[in-house]
Chains A and B, each alone.
Chain A
Amino acid sequence: MLTDFNFRVIWEYMPLFLTGVRATAFIAAVSITLALITGILACACRISGIKALKYPATIYIEIIRSTPLLVQIYFLYFGLPTLGLRIPELQTGIIALMLNSGAYIAEIIRAGINSVDEGHIEAGISSGLNYVQRMRFIILPQALGVTIPPLLGQNIVLVKDSALLSLISVVELTRSGQTMTSERFMPAEAFLTVAFFYMCIYFCLKAFADWSQRKLIYREVY
Protein backbone atom coordinates (compact mmCIF):
# COMPACT_ATOMS: atom_id res chain seq x y z
CA MET A 1 0.00 0.00 0.00
CA LEU A 2 2.63 2.43 1.02
CA THR A 3 4.75 1.61 -2.02
CA ASP A 4 2.05 3.14 -4.20
CA PHE A 5 1.91 6.21 -2.02
CA ASN A 6 2.55 9.05 -4.32
CA PHE A 7 4.66 11.57 -2.48
CA ARG A 8 5.37 13.48 -5.65
CA VAL A 9 1.72 14.39 -6.05
CA ILE A 10 1.52 15.49 -2.45
CA TRP A 11 4.47 17.76 -3.03
CA GLU A 12 2.75 19.08 -6.13
CA TYR A 13 -0.30 19.95 -4.09
CA MET A 14 1.64 21.35 -1.17
CA PRO A 15 0.70 24.99 -1.97
CA LEU A 16 -2.95 23.95 -1.77
CA PHE A 17 -2.42 22.27 1.58
CA LEU A 18 -0.51 25.21 2.96
CA THR A 19 -3.26 27.57 1.83
CA GLY A 20 -5.64 25.28 3.65
CA VAL A 21 -3.57 25.36 6.83
CA ARG A 22 -3.39 29.14 6.73
CA ALA A 23 -7.12 29.40 6.13
CA THR A 24 -7.89 26.99 8.95
CA ALA A 25 -5.62 28.90 11.30
CA PHE A 26 -7.27 32.17 10.34
CA ILE A 27 -10.77 30.78 10.75
CA ALA A 28 -9.90 29.24 14.11
CA ALA A 29 -8.27 32.40 15.44
CA VAL A 30 -11.13 34.66 14.43
CA SER A 31 -13.79 32.22 15.59
CA ILE A 32 -12.28 31.57 18.99
CA THR A 33 -11.90 35.28 19.66
CA LEU A 34 -15.50 35.97 18.72
CA ALA A 35 -16.60 32.89 20.64
CA LEU A 36 -14.84 34.12 23.76
CA ILE A 37 -16.69 37.42 23.59
CA THR A 38 -19.97 35.61 22.91
CA GLY A 39 -19.32 33.20 25.74
CA ILE A 40 -18.48 35.88 28.26
CA LEU A 41 -21.60 37.81 27.35
CA ALA A 42 -23.82 34.74 27.41
CA CYS A 43 -22.39 33.64 30.73
CA ALA A 44 -22.85 37.07 32.23
CA CYS A 45 -26.47 37.02 31.10
CA ARG A 46 -27.01 33.57 32.43
CA ILE A 47 -25.65 34.20 35.90
CA SER A 48 -27.30 37.57 36.19
CA GLY A 49 -30.49 37.57 38.17
CA ILE A 50 -32.34 39.44 35.42
CA LYS A 51 -34.87 37.06 33.87
CA ALA A 52 -34.98 38.95 30.58
CA LEU A 53 -31.29 38.19 30.12
CA LYS A 54 -31.12 34.84 31.84
CA TYR A 55 -33.82 32.96 29.88
CA PRO A 56 -32.67 33.82 26.34
CA ALA A 57 -29.08 33.05 27.29
CA THR A 58 -30.02 29.70 28.81
CA ILE A 59 -32.17 28.75 25.85
CA TYR A 60 -29.38 29.70 23.45
CA ILE A 61 -26.85 27.58 25.34
CA GLU A 62 -29.11 24.57 25.69
CA ILE A 63 -30.09 24.57 22.03
CA ILE A 64 -26.47 24.75 20.90
CA ARG A 65 -25.50 21.93 23.26
CA SER A 66 -28.32 19.65 22.20
CA THR A 67 -27.93 19.95 18.45
CA PRO A 68 -25.05 18.93 16.19
CA LEU A 69 -22.69 21.60 14.88
CA LEU A 70 -23.26 20.45 11.32
CA VAL A 71 -26.98 21.07 11.68
CA GLN A 72 -26.22 24.53 13.06
CA ILE A 73 -23.95 25.23 10.09
CA TYR A 74 -26.59 24.07 7.60
CA PHE A 75 -29.23 26.05 9.49
CA LEU A 76 -27.30 29.26 8.94
CA TYR A 77 -26.04 28.39 5.45
CA PHE A 78 -29.46 27.48 4.08
CA GLY A 79 -31.52 29.60 6.43
CA LEU A 80 -29.92 33.05 6.31
CA PRO A 81 -30.53 33.50 2.57
CA THR A 82 -34.26 32.94 3.15
CA LEU A 83 -34.17 35.93 5.47
CA GLY A 84 -32.66 37.94 2.67
CA LEU A 85 -29.14 37.85 4.15
CA ARG A 86 -26.69 36.84 1.46
CA ILE A 87 -23.58 36.19 3.58
CA PRO A 88 -20.54 34.54 2.00
CA GLU A 89 -19.86 31.02 3.19
CA LEU A 90 -16.68 31.92 5.06
CA GLN A 91 -18.48 34.43 7.24
CA THR A 92 -21.43 32.09 7.68
CA GLY A 93 -19.05 29.41 8.84
CA ILE A 94 -17.32 31.73 11.28
CA ILE A 95 -20.66 32.82 12.72
CA ALA A 96 -21.66 29.18 13.17
CA LEU A 97 -18.39 28.39 14.95
CA MET A 98 -18.68 31.53 17.04
CA LEU A 99 -22.19 30.68 18.21
CA ASN A 100 -21.32 27.03 18.81
CA SER A 101 -18.12 27.49 20.78
CA GLY A 102 -19.59 30.55 22.47
CA ALA A 103 -22.18 28.42 24.21
CA TYR A 104 -19.61 25.90 25.42
CA ILE A 105 -17.31 28.68 26.58
CA ALA A 106 -20.19 30.22 28.50
CA GLU A 107 -20.60 26.95 30.36
CA ILE A 108 -16.88 26.62 30.97
CA ILE A 109 -16.76 30.10 32.50
CA ARG A 110 -19.86 29.42 34.55
CA ALA A 111 -18.31 26.23 35.93
CA GLY A 112 -15.14 28.15 36.73
CA ILE A 113 -17.02 30.79 38.65
CA ASN A 114 -19.03 28.18 40.53
CA SER A 115 -15.85 26.40 41.49
CA VAL A 116 -14.64 29.22 43.69
CA ASP A 117 -14.86 28.25 47.31
CA GLU A 118 -18.02 29.40 49.04
CA GLY A 119 -15.92 30.35 52.04
CA HIS A 120 -13.87 32.86 50.07
CA ILE A 121 -17.02 34.56 48.85
CA GLU A 122 -18.40 34.74 52.36
CA ALA A 123 -15.16 36.24 53.55
CA GLY A 124 -15.53 38.88 50.86
CA ILE A 125 -19.09 39.65 51.85
CA SER A 126 -18.06 39.90 55.49
CA SER A 127 -15.37 42.43 54.68
CA GLY A 128 -17.96 44.60 53.02
CA LEU A 129 -17.09 44.07 49.34
CA ASN A 130 -19.94 44.55 46.92
CA TYR A 131 -20.77 42.18 44.05
CA VAL A 132 -18.50 43.81 41.50
CA GLN A 133 -15.59 44.01 43.91
CA ARG A 134 -16.03 40.39 44.92
CA MET A 135 -16.07 39.42 41.27
CA ARG A 136 -13.00 41.45 40.50
CA PHE A 137 -10.80 40.57 43.45
CA ILE A 138 -11.93 37.18 44.65
CA ILE A 139 -13.97 35.20 42.16
CA LEU A 140 -12.56 35.97 38.72
CA PRO A 141 -8.85 35.59 39.57
CA GLN A 142 -9.46 32.17 41.07
CA ALA A 143 -11.93 31.13 38.41
CA LEU A 144 -9.28 31.94 35.81
CA GLY A 145 -7.03 29.10 36.88
CA VAL A 146 -9.85 26.61 36.61
CA THR A 147 -11.15 28.02 33.36
CA ILE A 148 -8.07 28.34 31.21
CA PRO A 149 -7.34 24.62 30.65
CA PRO A 150 -10.86 23.81 29.38
CA LEU A 151 -10.80 26.99 27.27
CA LEU A 152 -7.63 25.81 25.59
CA GLY A 153 -9.32 22.47 25.12
CA GLN A 154 -12.26 24.16 23.44
CA ASN A 155 -9.78 25.89 21.17
CA ILE A 156 -8.52 22.51 20.02
CA VAL A 157 -12.11 21.33 19.53
CA LEU A 158 -12.81 24.40 17.46
CA VAL A 159 -9.93 23.71 15.09
CA LYS A 160 -11.35 20.26 14.48
CA ASP A 161 -14.88 21.63 14.18
CA SER A 162 -13.70 24.03 11.48
CA ALA A 163 -13.22 21.01 9.23
CA LEU A 164 -16.99 20.84 8.81
CA LEU A 165 -16.87 24.18 7.03
CA SER A 166 -15.44 22.29 4.07
CA LEU A 167 -18.94 20.96 3.55
CA ILE A 168 -20.24 24.41 2.76
CA SER A 169 -17.40 25.04 0.35
CA VAL A 170 -15.24 27.16 2.61
CA VAL A 171 -11.58 27.17 1.66
CA GLU A 172 -9.70 25.44 4.43
CA LEU A 173 -7.54 22.39 5.11
CA THR A 174 -10.12 19.63 4.72
CA ARG A 175 -11.38 21.23 1.54
CA SER A 176 -7.85 21.07 0.17
CA GLY A 177 -8.04 17.33 0.65
CA GLN A 178 -11.40 17.16 -1.08
CA THR A 179 -10.10 19.25 -3.97
CA MET A 180 -7.07 17.06 -4.45
CA THR A 181 -9.26 13.94 -4.28
CA SER A 182 -11.66 15.21 -6.90
CA GLU A 183 -8.86 16.34 -9.22
CA ARG A 184 -6.46 13.43 -8.91
CA PHE A 185 -8.58 10.71 -7.31
CA MET A 186 -5.98 9.93 -4.69
CA PRO A 187 -7.95 10.03 -1.44
CA ALA A 188 -5.27 8.22 0.57
CA GLU A 189 -2.55 10.74 -0.26
CA ALA A 190 -4.96 13.63 0.10
CA PHE A 191 -6.63 12.85 3.39
CA LEU A 192 -3.68 11.29 5.15
CA THR A 193 -1.74 14.45 4.39
CA VAL A 194 -4.63 16.52 5.68
CA ALA A 195 -4.71 14.36 8.81
CA PHE A 196 -0.98 14.87 9.23
CA PHE A 197 -1.35 18.65 9.15
CA TYR A 198 -4.20 18.54 11.66
CA MET A 199 -2.05 16.39 13.94
CA CYS A 200 0.72 18.98 13.75
CA ILE A 201 -1.68 21.75 14.70
CA TYR A 202 -3.09 19.54 17.47
CA PHE A 203 0.30 18.80 18.99
CA CYS A 204 1.28 22.47 18.94
CA LEU A 205 -1.92 23.52 20.65
CA LYS A 206 -1.71 20.66 23.12
CA ALA A 207 1.89 21.48 24.00
CA PHE A 208 0.85 25.06 24.65
CA ALA A 209 -2.09 23.90 26.76
CA ASP A 210 0.12 21.58 28.82
CA TRP A 211 2.70 24.30 29.30
CA SER A 212 0.16 26.83 30.52
CA GLN A 213 -1.37 24.20 32.80
CA ARG A 214 1.99 23.88 34.52
CA LYS A 215 2.16 27.63 34.88
CA LEU A 216 -1.23 27.70 36.54
CA ILE A 217 -0.45 25.24 39.31
CA TYR A 218 -0.53 28.03 41.86
CA ARG A 219 -4.10 27.09 42.52
CA GLU A 220 -3.17 23.61 43.70
CA VAL A 221 -0.32 24.89 45.82
CA TYR A 222 -2.28 27.12 48.17
Chain B
Amino acid sequence: MMAFYFGQLVEIFPFFLKGLWMTSKIGFISLVSCTLIGLILGVFRISNNIILKRLVGVYVAFVRGTPFVVQIFIIFFIFPEWGIQLEAFPAALLAMAIMGSAFICEIVAGGIAAIPTGQWEAAASSGLTRFQQLRLVIIPQAMKIILPPLVGQYVLLIKDTSVVSVIGVMDLTRVGWVTVVRIPEGLMVFSLVGALYFMISYPLILLSNYLEQRMDA
Protein backbone atom coordinates (compact mmCIF):
# COMPACT_ATOMS: atom_id res chain seq x y z
CA MET B 1 0.00 0.00 0.00
CA MET B 2 2.80 2.36 0.88
CA ALA B 3 4.43 1.71 -2.48
CA PHE B 4 1.21 2.68 -4.21
CA TYR B 5 1.11 5.98 -2.43
CA PHE B 6 4.80 6.49 -2.90
CA GLY B 7 4.26 6.26 -6.63
CA GLN B 8 1.57 8.90 -6.45
CA LEU B 9 3.82 11.00 -4.31
CA VAL B 10 6.51 11.05 -6.95
CA GLU B 11 3.87 11.97 -9.49
CA ILE B 12 2.61 14.95 -7.54
CA PHE B 13 5.99 16.15 -6.33
CA PRO B 14 6.43 18.71 -9.14
CA PHE B 15 3.08 20.15 -8.11
CA PHE B 16 4.43 20.57 -4.59
CA LEU B 17 7.53 22.26 -5.89
CA LYS B 18 5.34 24.70 -7.77
CA GLY B 19 3.53 25.43 -4.54
CA LEU B 20 6.85 25.89 -2.77
CA TRP B 21 7.89 28.29 -5.49
CA MET B 22 4.69 30.30 -5.08
CA THR B 23 5.17 30.41 -1.31
CA SER B 24 8.76 31.54 -1.78
CA LYS B 25 7.70 34.24 -4.22
CA ILE B 26 5.02 35.60 -1.93
CA GLY B 27 7.38 35.31 1.02
CA PHE B 28 10.23 37.13 -0.63
CA ILE B 29 8.13 39.95 -2.05
CA SER B 30 6.43 40.35 1.32
CA LEU B 31 9.70 40.47 3.23
CA VAL B 32 10.97 43.25 1.01
CA SER B 33 7.76 45.28 0.90
CA CYS B 34 7.04 44.91 4.60
CA THR B 35 10.58 45.92 5.54
CA LEU B 36 10.50 49.05 3.40
CA ILE B 37 7.03 50.13 4.46
CA GLY B 38 7.64 49.07 8.05
CA LEU B 39 10.82 51.17 8.21
CA ILE B 40 8.98 54.27 7.04
CA LEU B 41 6.05 53.64 9.36
CA GLY B 42 8.43 53.04 12.26
CA VAL B 43 9.98 56.45 11.71
CA PHE B 44 6.49 57.98 11.61
CA ARG B 45 5.67 56.18 14.83
CA ILE B 46 8.40 58.02 16.72
CA SER B 47 7.97 61.36 14.98
CA ASN B 48 6.99 64.54 16.80
CA ASN B 49 3.86 64.85 14.68
CA ILE B 50 1.10 63.63 16.98
CA ILE B 51 -1.40 63.06 14.17
CA LEU B 52 1.03 60.88 12.26
CA LYS B 53 1.93 58.98 15.40
CA ARG B 54 -1.70 58.33 16.29
CA LEU B 55 -2.68 57.33 12.76
CA VAL B 56 0.07 54.75 12.54
CA GLY B 57 -0.84 53.63 16.06
CA VAL B 58 -4.45 52.97 15.07
CA TYR B 59 -3.37 51.09 11.97
CA VAL B 60 -0.95 48.93 13.99
CA ALA B 61 -3.59 48.25 16.65
CA PHE B 62 -6.04 47.06 14.00
CA VAL B 63 -3.51 44.71 12.43
CA ARG B 64 -2.37 43.34 15.76
CA GLY B 65 -5.88 43.00 17.13
CA THR B 66 -7.44 41.01 14.31
CA PRO B 67 -6.59 37.59 12.88
CA PHE B 68 -4.72 37.64 9.59
CA VAL B 69 -7.33 35.41 7.96
CA VAL B 70 -10.01 38.00 8.76
CA GLN B 71 -7.83 40.74 7.27
CA ILE B 72 -7.44 38.67 4.11
CA PHE B 73 -11.20 38.18 3.84
CA ILE B 74 -11.75 41.90 4.31
CA ILE B 75 -9.28 42.80 1.57
CA PHE B 76 -10.35 40.10 -0.86
CA PHE B 77 -14.11 40.49 -0.49
CA ILE B 78 -14.53 44.14 0.21
CA PHE B 79 -12.38 45.68 -2.52
CA PRO B 80 -14.69 44.40 -5.28
CA GLU B 81 -17.55 46.16 -3.47
CA TRP B 82 -15.65 49.39 -3.99
CA GLY B 83 -15.17 48.57 -7.64
CA ILE B 84 -11.57 47.41 -7.38
CA GLN B 85 -11.22 43.96 -8.87
CA LEU B 86 -8.41 42.14 -7.15
CA GLU B 87 -7.09 38.80 -8.23
CA ALA B 88 -6.04 36.38 -5.53
CA PHE B 89 -2.28 36.82 -5.93
CA PRO B 90 -2.20 40.64 -5.72
CA ALA B 91 -4.73 40.52 -2.90
CA ALA B 92 -2.45 38.13 -1.05
CA LEU B 93 0.55 40.42 -1.55
CA LEU B 94 -1.45 43.40 -0.38
CA ALA B 95 -2.70 41.59 2.71
CA MET B 96 0.82 40.42 3.57
CA ALA B 97 2.20 43.93 3.06
CA ILE B 98 -0.42 45.51 5.30
CA MET B 99 0.01 42.91 8.03
CA GLY B 100 3.78 42.58 7.98
CA SER B 101 4.54 46.30 7.90
CA ALA B 102 2.58 46.84 11.09
CA PHE B 103 4.73 44.36 13.00
CA ILE B 104 7.96 45.60 11.48
CA CYS B 105 6.87 49.16 12.27
CA GLU B 106 6.75 48.25 15.96
CA ILE B 107 10.15 46.58 15.80
CA VAL B 108 11.70 49.60 14.10
CA ALA B 109 10.05 52.06 16.48
CA GLY B 110 11.26 49.98 19.43
CA GLY B 111 14.79 49.95 18.09
CA ILE B 112 14.85 53.70 17.55
CA ALA B 113 13.36 54.35 20.98
CA ALA B 114 16.18 52.35 22.53
CA ILE B 115 18.80 54.83 21.34
CA PRO B 116 19.64 57.22 24.23
CA THR B 117 18.25 60.76 24.01
CA GLY B 118 21.81 62.06 24.33
CA GLN B 119 22.57 60.84 20.82
CA TRP B 120 19.67 62.89 19.42
CA GLU B 121 20.79 65.92 21.44
CA ALA B 122 24.43 65.67 20.42
CA ALA B 123 23.46 65.41 16.77
CA ALA B 124 20.92 68.22 17.05
CA SER B 125 23.38 70.51 18.84
CA SER B 126 25.77 70.49 15.92
CA GLY B 127 23.03 71.72 13.61
CA LEU B 128 21.88 68.49 11.93
CA THR B 129 18.25 68.45 10.83
CA ARG B 130 15.92 65.87 12.34
CA PHE B 131 16.12 63.81 9.18
CA GLN B 132 19.93 63.93 9.21
CA GLN B 133 19.97 62.96 12.88
CA LEU B 134 17.84 59.94 12.02
CA ARG B 135 19.77 58.94 8.94
CA LEU B 136 23.36 59.47 10.13
CA VAL B 137 23.25 58.87 13.87
CA ILE B 138 20.12 57.12 15.10
CA ILE B 139 19.17 54.51 12.50
CA PRO B 140 22.69 53.12 12.01
CA GLN B 141 22.78 52.42 15.74
CA ALA B 142 19.19 51.18 15.84
CA MET B 143 19.89 48.65 13.10
CA LYS B 144 21.87 46.44 15.44
CA ILE B 145 18.98 46.32 17.86
CA ILE B 146 16.38 45.85 15.12
CA LEU B 147 18.06 43.04 13.21
CA PRO B 148 17.44 40.01 15.48
CA PRO B 149 13.69 40.59 16.04
CA LEU B 150 13.40 41.58 12.37
CA VAL B 151 14.71 38.23 11.21
CA GLY B 152 12.43 36.56 13.74
CA GLN B 153 9.53 38.43 12.17
CA TYR B 154 10.64 37.21 8.73
CA VAL B 155 10.18 33.62 9.91
CA LEU B 156 6.67 34.46 11.11
CA LEU B 157 5.84 36.14 7.81
CA ILE B 158 6.90 33.14 5.77
CA LYS B 159 4.69 30.92 7.89
CA ASP B 160 1.83 33.40 7.59
CA THR B 161 1.92 33.11 3.80
CA SER B 162 0.17 29.77 4.31
CA VAL B 163 -3.01 31.64 5.26
CA VAL B 164 -3.35 33.20 1.81
CA SER B 165 -4.27 29.75 0.60
CA VAL B 166 -7.80 30.47 1.79
CA ILE B 167 -8.45 32.84 -1.10
CA GLY B 168 -7.28 30.33 -3.64
CA VAL B 169 -3.64 31.24 -4.14
CA MET B 170 -1.90 28.04 -5.20
CA ASP B 171 0.80 28.14 -2.57
CA LEU B 172 2.36 25.18 -0.82
CA THR B 173 -0.47 24.85 1.70
CA ARG B 174 -3.18 24.96 -0.94
CA VAL B 175 -1.32 22.38 -3.00
CA GLY B 176 -1.48 20.10 0.02
CA TRP B 177 -5.16 20.89 0.59
CA VAL B 178 -6.04 20.19 -3.02
CA THR B 179 -3.92 17.03 -3.10
CA VAL B 180 -5.41 15.51 0.01
CA VAL B 181 -8.79 15.46 -1.70
CA ARG B 182 -7.37 13.22 -4.42
CA ILE B 183 -4.96 11.26 -2.29
CA PRO B 184 -6.59 10.92 1.12
CA GLU B 185 -3.30 10.36 2.93
CA GLY B 186 -3.43 13.41 5.18
CA LEU B 187 -0.39 12.47 7.23
CA MET B 188 1.85 11.95 4.25
CA VAL B 189 0.67 14.93 2.26
CA PHE B 190 0.94 17.42 5.07
CA SER B 191 4.16 15.92 6.38
CA LEU B 192 5.59 16.70 2.97
CA VAL B 193 4.12 20.20 3.08
CA GLY B 194 5.51 20.69 6.57
CA ALA B 195 8.93 19.39 5.56
CA LEU B 196 9.10 21.86 2.68
CA TYR B 197 8.11 24.76 4.96
CA PHE B 198 10.70 23.55 7.44
CA MET B 199 13.29 23.67 4.68
CA ILE B 200 12.75 27.34 3.99
CA SER B 201 12.13 28.58 7.50
CA TYR B 202 14.66 26.65 9.56
CA PRO B 203 17.70 28.44 8.09
CA LEU B 204 16.07 31.75 9.01
CA ILE B 205 15.36 30.47 12.52
CA LEU B 206 19.00 29.51 12.92
CA LEU B 207 20.02 32.95 11.68
CA SER B 208 17.62 34.58 14.11
CA ASN B 209 18.99 32.54 17.03
CA TYR B 210 22.54 33.41 16.04
CA LEU B 211 21.73 37.13 15.87
CA GLU B 212 19.98 37.01 19.25
CA GLN B 213 23.05 35.41 20.79
CA ARG B 214 25.33 38.01 19.29
CA MET B 215 23.13 40.77 20.71
CA ASP B 216 23.30 39.36 24.21
CA ALA B 217 27.09 39.05 24.05
Contact = CB atoms under 8 A, between A and B. Distances in A.
Interface of A: 1, 62-63, 65-72, 74-75, 77-83, 160-164, 166-167, 174, 177-178, 181, 187-188, 191-192, 194-195, 198-199, 202-203, 206
Interface stretch (B37-45, B66-74, B118-126): B66-74
B108 interface: no
Contacts of B198: 63, 66-67
Contact of B205 (A65, A72, A174): A65
Given A77-B186, A187-B81, A66 B201 contact: yes
B6 interface: no
A70 B165 contact: yes
Given A67-B194, A70-B163, A78 B77 contact: no
Contacts of A178: 73
A68 B27 CA distance: 13
B193 interface: yes
27 contacts: A66-B202, A66-B205, A67-B198, A68-B162, A71-B162, A71-B194, A74-B173, A74-B177, A74-B186, A74-B190, A75-B193, A75-B194, A78-B184, A79-B187, A79-B190, A83-B187, A164-B69, A181-B77, A187-B74, A188-B78, A188-B81, A191-B77, A199-B61, A199-B66, A202-B66, A203-B65, A206-B65
Contacts of A68: 159-163, 173, 197
A33 to B, nearest CB: 20
A114 B163 CA distance: 33
B91 interface: no
Interface residues of B, number: 42
Contact of A174 (B67, B165, B189): B67
Interface in B38-92: 61-62, 64-71, 73-74, 77-78, 81-82
B191 interface: yes
B187 A75 contact: yes
B76 to A, nearest CB: 8
Given A75-B191, A174-B69, 8 more contacts: A68-B161, A68-B173, A71-B193, A74-B193, A78-B190, A82-B185, A192-B74, A195-B74
B100 interface: no
A177 B193 contact: no
B176 interface: yes
Contacts of A1: 81-82
A192 B162 CA distance: 22
Most B CB atoms within 10 A — which of A72, A161, A187, A192? A187
B187 A191 contact: no
